[in-house]
Chains A and B, each alone.
Chain A
């Protein structure tokens, strides 16, 4: 029924001024009242453009968009449309206008001329809808990413829209924040009957919707229920999307002879596996693949941190202890993971590795305090990284920084030079003065090649003209150009689409093999850590909660959840299977997990 469609797009085309390729080329779709629609697509597929077109922030070149029967292209409708279609954007930091939560939430209602008392009621309602009523007088800059984003949702809700568009609103959040926002959105859809358009590149989120559309290079290439979409694995690959890990597991099980239908819900997949087992008469089984603990004492530690404590803004009312006694050992040649949610102290920890934060003893003004009788001397932190002793004032900190490469979160935001070549050469010139032009050029060329970029193509371009993924590669090239022994990366895959993520992880493995001996990644994507790391440490509330090989670390599934962290998908399946009587422990990569299941399945067969 046409009246029931709140949004209708017919053959919409849009090209950004000054660009040759169209961002959207002929998009036709509609959204029904009360529907939960998810839109997925690779970076640059036109998803965000679509969101901005729907409430008139951009104007289509061709085609017709009507929202509640109003033509978006007519200026007089703009205000009415924006009242009824709200958008929450990607960056939680760039949406608030006021320094106090309630003032910010009031902004929308003020704009449409709501009376003061009614605004008060709306603030109360909107904050309750996102579960933030306790934060009415709080300052957004002190909240977590998930909380800030929920405030942004409340700010949009306060206008009382009928359609809520989320434009990658979860892309910059950690798993906890993501869950918080998604829960709010689902509740709004179910309980308030709000129409939702969820633009995302997290497949797990997309499949919560009633219907999914897939965008590829500005065109809608697939449309249907999430189940239908994700059955189409090969097609998704060609659209630069990746199947969720769970689909891969189901496919591998099918290859091995288990007739599972496959599901995106781990519990459902577990039940399907169990059904197959019981069809063969297997009611219970047990397999423990946990690798034996390695003798750690025998290893040569590349990074050795002991008793590390750190407090921000000492002696001020805002003092906050970020690290509360961290002991961490990372061996040479490891691909090490550091897991922790926002605010767990992981950024503070890694900034110690190359003395961006110096130990107190290494500060010039440091003097040893006289030890009073009867009072035990304070425990001083110590850090050794390779051949560098970070407690020593005389350490060559410049050489240390050259050999410990540090790639921060969203490294593309530090690019500054006129050309890519100059930007990549920046670190090299700082660390090894007196290099000839040829030597510099050769090094830049090598590191650009290492990150998969063609020197001749990009070297003379401005870094700001590159695509998001390319920028990130250039930024990484600018760090590895000094050929560091240890490469530390904070959330290297943050904000990328699934394919981009996969490519970055492949790049890191390549760097690990050919370029830097040790790689340390900070991540809150558990699947990423489970699939890639040799060992990982969980940082929680300024302390190392656990440190082990992923297979054993993730054995503590429940405990991780209680720390606000996620667990790998394999564990979620295994946990439901365990309840049913099939116990499989000690494997967390999807390959090891499906092999384990198949072994169990066949093992019984053999016997």
Chain B
């Protein structure tokens, strides 16, 4: 029953973002990440934020899930912030005590960095919330297709991912069964020191491994029997189709790219007063 929860992050509801082609979403995410680091002033970053907010609204993503993903990197954020604030050099000294010196540039730089990481994680979470692992695999396979020309086994990679995804719930069920069976024979996984606990895992891991091999062998036979040869000469049933939504998303991103580039150039003619404070190093 654990398999219901553990199956990735995918949040199965219907929304604009859900019905986008996975390739669109993958490319958009890549573009977005690049733009985050290209944006060098608060206006272009605000443009990114606007697009992100639009994406969140278009995805019907539950707010709690996004927050939970951010919690995961809270420590990382705090750590980077502290390091940057104290170690970043600059011209305008704001605070100084013994060896600690905080510069204005340091604060601004840290602010930008945190916002960028914050946006990056939110955007990636949005992708996994709105795209099933199967669609992600299909999207990746399609995007990586050019690599087949340099003999990279894109198809095999996609099949491996697909099979792995398929077997996750099966193996989780199996693990639960084995744990229950060994517990019934008095196995104790909760007490003792680290070494003891690792040792207690053996009665779970060995049967699991044996079973995984048995399953792999049977699956191999079943695949062979269904005419799988491992050669790349096969057709694909699943076809990703771009729709009007993808065009809208593409236009939005084109606008964002143009916006960020223009704002990068003209920001300080729009808000000249901000120049002194805001332009990071």
Residues of A at the B interface (CB closer than 8 Å) are 52, 55, 57, 79, 82-83, 86-87, 89-91, 93-100, 102-103, 106-116, 119-120, 123, 140-141, 152, 155-156, 159, 312-313, 316, 318, 320, 351, 354, 356, 398, 401-402, 405-406, 408-409, 411, 413-417, 426-427, 430-431, 464, 478-479, 482
A93's partner among B203, B215, B229, B238 (CB-CB below 8 A) is B215
> Could you tell me the distance between the alpha carbons of A140 and B165 in the complex, rounded to whole angstroms?
12
Chain A residues whose C-beta falls within 8 Å of the C-beta of B133 in the assembled complex: 99
A100–B226 CB distance below 8 A: no
Could you tell me the distance in whole angstroms from the C-beta of B266 to the nearest C-beta in chain A?
47
Residues on the B chain within 8 Å of A401, using CB: 183-186
A98-B225 contact in complex given A356-B183, A414-B178, A414-B181, C-beta closer than 8 Å: no
Closest-by-CB residue of B relative to A108 is: B226
Question: Which chain B positions have C-beta within 8 A of A415?
Answer: 207
- Given A96-B166, A97-B219, decide whether A155 and B185 contact each other with a Cβ distance below 8 A: no
What CA separation (Å) do A116 and B240 show in the bound complex? Answer: 12
Which of A86, A97, A140, A417 meets B225, CB within 8 Å?
A: A86
Most B CB contacts (10 A, CB to CB) among A90, A111, A312 go to: A111
Which B residues lie within 8 Å of A152 (CB)? Answer: 222
Distance between A306 CB and nearest chain B CB, rounded to angstroms: 23
Inter-chain contacts of B228 with A (CB < 8 A): 107, 111
Contacts of B218 in A (CB 8 A): 89-91, 94-95
CB distance from A235 to the nearest CB of B (A): 32
A97–B162 CB distance below 8 A = yes
Shortest CB-to-CB span from A429 to chain B, Å, is 8
On chain A, the residues within 8 Å of B225 by CB distance are 55, 57, 82, 86-87, 89, 156
| Contact indicator A99/B235 (Cβ below 8 Å) | no
Name the distance in Å between B204's Cβ and chain A's nearest Cβ: 8
Q: Which listed segment binds A: B1-9, B21-29, B41-49, B254-262?
A: B1-9
Chain B residues bordering chain A, tally (CB within 8 A):
49
Q: Which residues of B contact A103 (CB under 8 A)?
A: 134, 162, 237-238
A94 touches which one: B187, B188, B219, B234 (CB < 8 A)?
Answer: B219
**Within 8 Å of chain A (Cβ to Cβ): is B177?**
yes
Please tell me which one of the listed residues A94, A140, A426, A479 contacts residue B203 in the complex, with CB atoms under 8 A apart. A426
Contact B3 A159 (CB under 8 A): no
- Among candidates B206, B226, B236, residue contacting A86 with C-beta atoms closer than 8 Å: B226
Which residue of chain A lies nearest to B227 when distances are taken between CB atoms in the complex? A111
A318 touches B181 (CB 8 A): no
The answer on a CB contact under 8 Å between B185 and A426 is yes
Docked complex Cα distance between A318 and B181 (Å): 25
> In the assembly, what is the distance between CA of A111 and CA of B5, in Å?
33
B221 and A57 form a contact (CB under 8 A): yes
Please give 17 more A-B residue pairs, beta carbons under 8 A apart, in addition to A97-B163, A416-B203: A52-B221, A79-B227, A87-B225, A93-B215, A94-B222, A103-B134, A106-B237, A119-B235, A141-B170, A159-B226, A312-B4, A356-B180, A398-B186, A413-B210, A426-B185, A427-B185, A430-B185
Beyond A57-B221, A398-B186, whether A141 also contacts B236 by CB under 8 A is no
Decide yes or no whether B98 CB sits under 8 A from chain A.
no
Partner of B4, one of A108, A313, A413: A313
Q: Are A110 and B222 in contact (CB under 8 A)?
A: no
Contacts of B166 in A (CB 8 A): 96-99, 140-141
Chain B residues with Cβ under 8 A from A411's Cβ?
181
- A478–B184 CB distance below 8 A: no
**B151 part of interface (Cβ distance < 8 Å):** no
Assess A110 versus B1: contact at CB under 8 Å? Given A89-B221, A116-B239, A415-B207: no
Taking a contact as CB atoms closer than 8 A, the residue among B163, B165, B222, B229 that contacts A79 in the complex is: B229
> Distance in Å from the Cβ of A275 to the closest Cβ of chain B?
47
Complex CA–CA separation, A544 to B18 (angstroms): 42
Given A93-B215, A312-B1, A111 contacting B134 (CB threshold 8 A): no
Say whether B234 contacts A110, CB under 8 Å: yes
Give the residues from 237 to 257 in chain B that come closer than 8 angstroms, CB to CB, to chain A. Answer: 237-239
Contact A156 B226 (CB under 8 A): yes
Smallest CB gap from B188: residue in A: A430
Contacts of B170 in A (CB 8 A): 93, 141
Min Cβ gap A75→B in Å is: 11
Q: Which residue of chain B has its CB nearest to the CB of A429?
A: B186
Q: With a CB–CB cut-off of 8 A, which chain A residues contact B221? A: 52, 57, 87, 89
Neighbouring B residues of A111 by C-beta, 8 Å: 226-229, 234
Is B4 a contact of A416 with CB atoms below 8 Å? no
Separation in Å of the A310 CB from the closest CB of chain B? 11
Q: Among the listed A52, A408, A430, which residue makes an inter-chain contact with B187, where contact means beta carbons less than 8 Å apart?
A: A430
Closest chain B residue to A316 by CB distance?
Answer: B5
**A106: chain B residues within 8 A (beta carbon):** 237-238
What's the Cα separation between A93 and B219 when bound, in Å? 9
Query: Taking the nearest CB of chain A, how far is it from the CB of B205, in angstroms?
Result: 8
What is the minimal beta-carbon distance from A183 to any residue of chain B, in angstroms? Answer: 22
Q: CA A303 – CA B31 in complex, angstroms? A: 64
> What are 19 A-B contacts with C-beta separation under 8 Å?
A57-B225, A82-B225, A83-B227, A87-B222, A93-B215, A95-B222, A97-B162, A97-B219, A98-B162, A100-B134, A111-B234, A114-B235, A313-B1, A313-B5, A356-B183, A413-B178, A416-B203, A430-B185, A478-B185
Task: Kindly list chain A residues whose C-beta atoms are within 8 Å of the C-beta of B235.
Answer: 109-110, 113-116, 119
* B148: interface (CB < 8 Å): no
Q: Residue of A at shortest CB range from B203?
A: A416
* B223 CB–A CB distance under 8 Å: yes
Contact of A316 among B4, B187, B207, B239 (CB under 8 A): B4
Contact between A82 and B227, CB atoms less than 8 A apart: yes
A98, A120, A411 — most chain B CB neighbours (10 Å) = A98
Q: Which residues of A contact B210 (CB under 8 A)?
A: 413, 416, 464
Shortest CB-to-CB span from B252 to chain A, Å, is 29
Q: Give min CB distance, B73 to chain A, whole Å.
A: 24
Q: Do the beta carbons of B233 and A123 come within 8 Å of each other? A: no
Q: Could you mark each residue 178-198 of chain B with 1 if its beta carbon is under 8 Å from any beta carbon of chain A, else 0?
A: 101111111110000000000
Q: Chain B residue with minimal CB distance to A318?
A: B4
Q: B133's closest neighbor in chain A, by CB? A: A99
Is the CB of B202 closer than 8 A to any CB of chain A?
Answer: yes
Query: Within 8 Å CB of A430, what residues of B?
Result: 185-188
Min C-beta distance of B196 to chain A, whole Å: 12
